[in-house]
Chain A
Amino acid sequence: MNPLLELTQVGIEFNTAKGSFRALQNVDLKIHKGEYISLIGHSGCGKSTVLNIVAGLLQATEGGVVLNGKEVNEPGPERAVVFQNHSLLPWLSAYENVELAVKQVFRGKKSKAEMKAWIEHNLELVHMTHAMHKRPDEISGGMKQRVGIARALAMEPQVLLMDEPFGALDALTRAHLQDSLMDIQKELNNTVIMITHDVDEAVLLSDRIVMMTNGPAATIGEILDIELERPRNRLQLADDPRYNHYRHQVLSFLYEKQRKTDDNPPATQTRDQAPDSTIIKERHDTRAINTPARQADARGPEQEKLNALKTA
């Protein structure tokens, strides 16, 4: 079967004040219809850039993207995007935000009544019927993201692109939305590319996890097939050795093979120096274990001195 979406030798160079900056190089990826792909990698490696090239918002310097046999070189609703910060028009209600997209995509194809039904159907998919006439500033962050997803789904895209759709949400809201998304996916079986920095999210939702190397000149490092049967349940998976195996593989890619260093690492950087940033729990765990231990070491002699003083 031919892939629905194909990235071939994609590379991009940005012109910046400090000269040209090569962000991506030799990105090759084939995605089949109905596949759910996660893009994971350290912050700043070029995930959004890949997504924006597929969306047509950025033009690749080399290589190209082919969707359904046609080269992509401008944005379009058949590649709907869910942006990280919802990007709803603040002066329109949830309904009107979806309506703007539906009117644009289905003008001349659906009647007024059909459009109304279609808008309401999509808002129902994301459980937003109760608040569909509220404006973005009247609903929570999670609800805004739901509306953003409804707007994208309502375009009936061939590929749904999501750039850290739940990145700004708290853990509980995120879990709710992930479950909603899995339900929707079961029904619609969309082709999805989702950027995430959450390892659990990637394993839970994806058919394949595409792991990117660090920039500059980032590319695809490894691709991990997630062969967990659907529907997936986060509670059951928590005890599933396969789930933990996948999770471990992603973590080891990110924190061993693509260990994130400072921008200009000093030559003598020691192994136990905690690398900056990112949200992964395991990292915090190692730190949490390391830090008290090191502190104990450091405190040892001090403590002895103190004790000596006390006894004196």
Chain B
Amino acid sequence: MSIALTQKLSKISWLEPVIKAAQGENRSQNLSIIIKAVGIPLAGIMMFLMIWHAAASGIDTSLGKFPGPADVLLQSKTLISEHISERDKAAAFYQRQNERNADRLAKDPDYKVKIRAYTGKPTYVDQIFTSLITVLSGFLLASLIAIPLGIVIGLSANLYAAFNPVIQIFKPVSPLAWLPLVTMVVSALYVSDNPVVPKSFITSMITVMLCCLWPTVINTAVGVASISQDLKNVSQVLRLSWLTHVRKIVLPAAIPMMFTGLRLSLSIAWMVLIAAEMLAQNPGLGKFVWDEFQNGSSNSLGRIMVAVITIGLIGFALDRMMLLLQRIVSWDKSATLR
């Protein structure tokens, strides 16, 4: 392993003892650190699985027993094999189509080749990707609005006072309340015979945006407003222009707080998305859960449980990604990154 890579990896806290032990540094001590860092969380997970298993076998529903860990594992395998077979079908479909087209071209060189898309139903993996794309679009849109807005109102005490009540009122509004409104507005305004993206996607994205806007606005504004007078004085003595002041002083100074907001926003966005997809019927994880619930087969609960765990894991991964981004972008390495 290259030295630079080793150094980068050892910045990840729990990897540090692993690497040190691998390099032969103080083996026994590092080993005990590894056991603490990896062993204890692992034991926690095992304990959870055991309690889950025991509790699940005691719950009878109209759709059969509540799924335990084993059922969920089975269902996740099924979902993956369904995905693979669906992909195979699609590949076969395109191959047949290509062969047919080639035949026709051979017989009649003037034949206009038409490629028809495969219209199988979206698999679980497809739905995960739809959800990810929707949540990231909504979050990106929210950030593009929230960061500039936060900076502007953070720079002026008057603007802050003016916007604050509006922000405080909209902040706690549930996505379920926004959704009907957003649906109607999108239907009215987004009219196109040949839409680039489906309406349900736009509806979910805007709902996500409306709900996850606020933490970034508030935290950015607070970050900007709490820039020390000394730094502002430096900017004044240097006669920095407004734009340079924002770029060189305000933006970097506010970055730690901004990221606190962005991380909150992203986790809210992900939570809101599932609810929005359920109601907007956007083909993502939320719709998957809803469809399985409506479907009501003996496998449904197990499949929903797979979705629950997937949602949790993706939410966790998204948060880690933001943390990584914060580590790269932020100058304030001393800020607690949790």
Contact = CB atoms under 8 A, between A and B. Distances in A.
A3 interface: no
Nearest to B236: A75
Contacts of B231: 87, 89
A122 B115 CA distance: 69
Contact of B240 (A55, A90, A104): A104
Q: Interface residues of A toward B: which range?
A: 20 to 34
B334 A137 contact: yes
A85 B334 CA distance: 19
A87 B233 CA distance: 9
B252 interface: yes
B238 interface: yes
A228 B234 CA distance: 34
A104 B233 contact: no
Instruction: Summarize B's interface: helix, strand, loop or mixed.
Output: helix
Contacts of B240: 104
Interface string B230-255: 11011011111000100011001101
B331 interface: yes
Given A75-B239, A77-B238, A101-B238, A57 B233 contact: yes
Nearest to A83: B230
A81 interface: yes
Nearest to A96: B248
A79 interface: yes
Interface of B: 228, 230-231, 233-234, 236-240, 244, 248-249, 252-253, 255, 331-332, 334
Nearest to B230: A87
Nearest to B331: A91
A119 to B, nearest CB: 14
B234 A87 contact: yes
B245 to A, nearest CB: 11
A74 B240 CA distance: 13
Instruction: Summarize A's interface: helix, strand, loop or mixed.
Output: loop
Interface in A139-167: 155
Contact of B237 (A81, A85, A91, A137): A81
A100 interface: yes
B259 to A, nearest CB: 14
Nearest to A88: B234
Contacts of B230: 83, 85, 87
Nearest to B234: A87
A90 B331 contact: yes
B322 to A, nearest CB: 19
13 contacts: A55-B237, A57-B233, A75-B236, A75-B239, A76-B237, A77-B237, A77-B239, A81-B234, A81-B237, A87-B230, A89-B234, A100-B238, A104-B238
A104 B245 CA distance: 11
A80 interface: yes
A79 B230 CA distance: 16
A81 B233 contact: yes
Contacts of B331: 90-91, 135
A79 B239 CA distance: 11
A229 B285 CA distance: 83
A79 B332 contact: no
Contacts of A57: 233, 236-237
Nearest to B252: A91
Nearest to A85: B230
Nearest to A87: B230
B248 A100 contact: yes
Nearest to A90: B331
A83 B235 CA distance: 13
A89 B238 contact: no
A80 B238 CA distance: 8
Nearest to A137: B334
B233 A89 contact: no
Contact of B252 (A56, A75, A89, A105): A89
Contacts of A155: 238
A80 B252 contact: no
A80 B237 contact: yes
Contacts of A80: 237
Counting chain B CB atoms within 10 Å of each CB, which of A79, A80, A81, A105 scores highest?
Answer: A81
B314 to A, nearest CB: 32
Given A89-B249, A91-B252, A104 B234 contact: no
Counting chain B CB atoms within 10 Å of each CB, which of A74, A80, A89, A155 scores highest?
Answer: A89
B224 to A, nearest CB: 15
B247 to A, nearest CB: 11
A17 B281 CA distance: 57
A75 B240 CA distance: 11
A85 to B, nearest CB: 6
